[in-house]
Amino acid sequence: VMASGVTVDASLKDDFNAIKLGHKYAYMVFKIEGESQIKTERVAENSTYEEFIGTLPPNECRYVVYDYKYTLDDGAKREKLLFIHWAPDSARIRDKMLYASSKDAIKKELKGVVEIQANDMSEVDEAAIKEKVKASG
Amino acid sequence: MTSGGNMYGGDEVGAIVLDVGSHTIRAGFAGEDMPKTDLPAYVGSCPAISAAAVESAQPVDGADSGAAKQQQPPRLYHGTNQISVPRPGMEIQALCKDGMIEDWDLFESTMDYLYKHELQCASEEHPLIASEANWNTKAKREKLCELAFEKYRVPAFFICKQAVLACFANGKATGLVLDCGASGTHAVPVFDGYVVSHGIMRSPLGGDFLVRQLDNYLRQQHKLEPVPVYRVASKTRVEEGGLPVWEAKKLPQGITQSYHNLMVKNLLQDVASTVLQCIDEPYDQATAETMPTVPYEFPHGYNMDFGYQRFRLTEALFDPANFLPESPGSSMLSVPHCLRTSVERCDVEIRQSLYSSIVVVGGTSLLKGFTDRLQRDLTARAAATLRLKLLASTSSGERRFASWIGGSILGSLGTFQQMWFSKQEYEESGKSFIEKKCP
């Protein structure tokens, strides 16, 4: 696919494994630095989903991996890793283009995630997320 | 070099960004917010002096009598200013057909003009990033690549589908791009940066269609012949609806029909963008009659108030079966139906993602009330659980130049400098290597 050429910081893969295999973090946020490299911006060890979405920058794009825990109707507990491509409508067009064209680079490093494209708060609303996660099987 | 508001990734000389459409060609420098020029995708072509004139002007040269009989190439005119001048024998010729470059000689002359007069730079000093039609053929993309390297000697080249650029520029790697342009409205699904070709739906309902609707209405119902400005020497102020009082300009002989048609089209485009509006619910005559009227003064002085027609003329976009006068009961798909069909042609798993990411671009989409009505019509036919979201930039520049802007940003990224199809790679592997470099 047409890509920006932006690369992924080497340590990002380790960070991803820490959340995927080690369940060390509730979520991690990635940012493109200097229009050239995707790096881990911040992590949170404990957080509710509500708390997390409150921390999303309103006018800037980001990528997020969130360890989402949920319960099925029958009471069974499940856990899925979400990959959120956060591109708010109010972000600068340059930012939107950069993150959209670099998404493939980071996605390649993240195995077994459910992808969410979100341009506003309603698209990261927990009800919407839960639907998507359940649908992904 | 380029003016302010740009950011280069490195010390590279700025790339040129080219976005070719059926109506206009957008060109400019990577890193800038808007294209430097928005050139008509037409050329004015005047036949050269005849062979007889050439022969009589030159002394007899025995060996060259064959060459003397050859015609000189036609004189070509580019850009709105040049094309708008009424010249004897000047035919207007289109560069594109079906959204793709068709006349390569005329296209080349346009590129020459662009580099020399609009961009004012040497082609061999700037990488070139071009957009292509979403259904562009392999042959045409390779031909453009070849032209860029062989004739223009560009140091590097890249080509990308228009819908992908527009989709990315709106923050989405997956979305349904609804491009409402002059030649028509096209619904193009993009999934993870790839155009889903079998999902593309193309409808002729676009800007040119609206202009024809308006033309029919004015001539047939209103009995008004649209007189373009080139024919008017002077006009007198008249009452609304009164007979126009004007003086015709003395024009040279031999003004062509194609020139006249383009001038009429330009006039009607201006009328359309001034008066036409989409009503927010399915058309109702009584409601339309209560809406405010919009006046328009034609170049020859005719003064007209547009009333319900403002809304009636655009209704065909949403209900062609009932509102296409020349073919009532038409089976043509409305714009919302075209969009839905496009989505339905895609894998069921991605349909919700497409519906929640409808990227609206193109000049015709700026029609007042268009996106509101589209949203309404889509919602009315959708299941209650379906998430529908239209992304339609409020900036008219971003709407009209979405693909160009996407290319401009890409071409100015430092990291993109390694993604170009370089001159060296072209020399080593040939034009077909473009399939690998620009998937």
Residues in chain A whose beta carbon is closer than 8 A to a beta carbon of chain B? 1-7, 35-36, 61, 85, 87-89, 91, 93-94, 96-101, 103-104, 117, 119, 123, 128
Whole-prediction pTM value?
Answer: 0.91
Do B146 and B240 reside in the same domain of the chain? no
Do B144 and B240 reside in the same domain of the chain? no
Number of structural domains, chain B?
3
Q: Which of B317, B345, B370 is the last residue of a domain?
A: B317
In order of A102, B8, B29, B145, B172, the CA distances from B5 in angstroms are: 22, 10, 11, 29, 24
**CATH number belonging to domain A7-136:** 3.40.20.10
Q: Which residue of A has its CA nearest to B193?
A: A1
Q: Which of B317, B342, B358 is the last residue of a domain?
A: B317
Do B177 and B259 reside in the same domain of the chain? no
Top residue of B6, B161, B164, B172 to mutate, by most chain A CBs within 10 Å, is B172
Q: A63: closest CA among A2, A19, A110?
A: A110
* Nearest-10 crossing angle of helices B402-412, A93-107: 60
Report pLDDT for A131.
Answer: 85
Residue B170 has pLDDT above 80, yes or no: yes
Do B40 and B70 reside in the same domain of the chain? yes
Q: Which of B317, B352, B367 is the last residue of a domain?
A: B317
Query: Considering the domain boundaries, does residue B10 fall inside one?
Result: no
Cβ atoms B332, B204 nearer than 8 A:
yes
ipTM of the complex, rounded to two decimals: 0.94
Query: Considering the domain boundaries, does residue B280 fall inside one?
Result: yes
CATH number at residue B385: 3.30.420.40
Do B342 and B201 reside in the same domain of the chain? yes
Domain that holds residue B417: 16-160+406-437
Instruction: Walk along chain A (137 residues) and give the pLDDT tens digit of each residue.
Output: 779 999 999 999 999 999 999 889 999 999 999 999 999 999 999 999 999 999 999 999 999 999 999 888 889 998 999 999 999 999 999 999 999 999 999 999 998 899 999 999 999 999 889 988 888 76
Residues of B in contact with A89 (CB under 8 A): 171, 391
Do B155 and B272 reside in the same domain of the chain? no
Do B288 and B342 reside in the same domain of the chain? no
Query: Considering the domain boundaries, does residue B3 fall inside one?
Result: no
Q: Do B410 and A128 touch (CB under 8 A)?
A: no
CATH number at residue B240: 3.90.640.10
Q: B188: closest CA among B346, B75, B330, B25?
A: B346
* Interface membership of B12 toward A (CB under 8 Å): no
B110 pLDDT tier (thresholds 50, 70, 90): very high
Residues B243-256 pLDDT 10s: 899 999 999 999 99
* Interface membership of B171 toward A (CB under 8 Å): yes
Do B264 and B354 reside in the same domain of the chain? no
Q: How far apart are CA B76 and CA B97, in angstroms?
A: 19
- Identify which of B7, B169, B172 has the shortest CB distance to residue A117: B172
Query: Considering the domain boundaries, does residue B324 fall inside one?
Result: no
Q: Do B387 and A103 touch (CB under 8 A)?
A: no
Cβ atoms B235, B300 nearer than 8 A:
yes
